[in-house]
Amino acid sequence: MTVTALIVAAGSGQRLGGGIPKQFRPIAGKPVLRWAVERLLRHPAVGSVRVVIGEGQQALAGDALAGLNIGELLTGGAERSDSVKAGLQAIESEAVLVHDAARPFCPPLVIDRLLAALEFFEGAAPVLAVGDTLARAGTELEDMVERDGIVRVQTPQAFRLDSLRLAYERWSGPAPTDETTVVRAAGMRVAAVEGDAMLDKLTTASDWESAEAMLAGRLVPRTGIGFDVHAFAGEGPLMLGGIAIPSERGLAGHSDADVVLHAITDALLGAAGLGDIGDHFPPTDPQWKGADSELFIAHAAQLVRGGGGVIDHVDCTIICEQPKIGPHRAAMRDRIAFILELPQSSVSVKATTTERLGFTGRGEGIAAQAVASIRLGTFE
């Protein structure tokens, strides 16, 4: 069975409020919409993913989805169901998974259950039992509603594409909030499969806080180590820890030879298990000739955070006889903290000599060591 995932992301996020619509806001370092799309793209049964956005949201969506294989962005309408209908016109497959961008963390098992149910039903939706007591209420509490047999209905919802299109053609009611309503109204059967709390929709500020807390609880600490050496050569200034130190001699290197930033970059990449600086910025590549090493360290930080990670602390030791680091330490901490978007207290810069022993002792070059402490998501 060929399956297209249709992700609707054309809303304006009124109930969450604040700035840009919720689907484009980062949670754990990654836009909500990107989380949603990546999760569906990665499921082996999902052949393609298409995304429906609102008028005027192209730039936000382009940034959020950069590099993902989702074809052309589709344009939705005023109500969620208008966005779904616009999407249904643009896809061709036997089955469709209609999904809200505002539910970023879809577990693969839910998709398995939904698609398995399509063998016997026209549609399938993930549901969860309700734990709280249910009642009607205005300002005053009214009658209790029997909660036995009552469920919350989530997305993604799976349908045979022909069935869903037909059901929408026949639908004449007000804008429905999901597709099971439409399909059932057309007399078709929808399976209820087990949902997952990870699929709860981010609707209000309190949902957002709960999701952030849930993600934070799934982060595990990791540590990375970095080391680098550059020989003195040519003229100063000397780039060290992101600042230019007046010096008669500079350091030799393909880039600006900032050993401190290189060591921290490697520590960050090491903590994330993402290889080393040479893998990401090969010294054979002419585009990095004379490059500002801030690019390297900022890229490493972005890689950690892009995967939902958090950078807690970086510590480094500079090993040299000259220049004296003390007078520049605060400026280096400030600069590194600025590049890494960390408070200064999360960056440590230390220095030592080697008692005139070895290559650093003879003043032939500068070495730097770094350790990065990060937390990485286990919710991938």
Q: Which residues of this chain interact with Mg ion, rule CB under 5 A?
A: 11
Q: Please identify which residue in 2, 48, 181, 203 interacts with ligand CTP, judged by CB under 6 A.
A: 203
Beta bridge partners of 153: 127
Q: Please identify which residue in 1, 12, 108, 324 interacts with ligand CTP, judged by CB under 6 A.
A: 12
Judge whether 370 and 260 are in contact, CB under 8 Å. Answer: yes
Task: Rank residues 8 and 110 by Cβ distance to Mg ion and give the closer one.
Answer: 8
Positions 18 through 77 that interact with ligand CTP (CB under 6 A): 21, 23, 52, 76-77
4 binds, among Mg ion, ligand CTP, none (CB under 5 to 8 A by kind): none
Identify which of 50, 27, 37, 92 has the alpha carbon closest to the alpha carbon of residue 306: 27
304 binds, among Mg ion, ligand CTP, none (CB under 5 to 8 A by kind): none
Q: Confirm or reject binding of residue 242 to ligand CTP (CB under 6 A).
A: no
Q: Confirm or reject binding of residue 261 to ligand CTP (CB under 6 A).
A: no
Q: Confirm or reject binding of residue 78 to ligand CTP (CB under 6 A).
A: yes
Judged by CB under 6 A, the stretch of 7-15, 261-269, 296-304, 316-324 that binds ligand CTP is 7-15
Stretch 297-316: interaction string toward ligand CTP, x if CB under 6 A: --------------------
Task: Rank residues 24 and 288 by Cβ distance to ligand CTP and give the closer one.
Answer: 24
Task: Rank residues 112 and 207 by Cβ distance to ligand CTP and give the closer one.
Answer: 207
Q: 136 burial class (0-12, 13-18, 19+ CB within 10 angstroms)?
A: exposed
Q: Confirm or reject binding of residue 9 to ligand CTP (CB under 6 A).
A: yes
Residue 238 and residue 241: Cα distance in Å, rounded?
10
List of residues contacting ligand CTP (CB under 6 A): 8-16, 21, 23, 52, 76-80, 82-83, 100-102, 201, 203
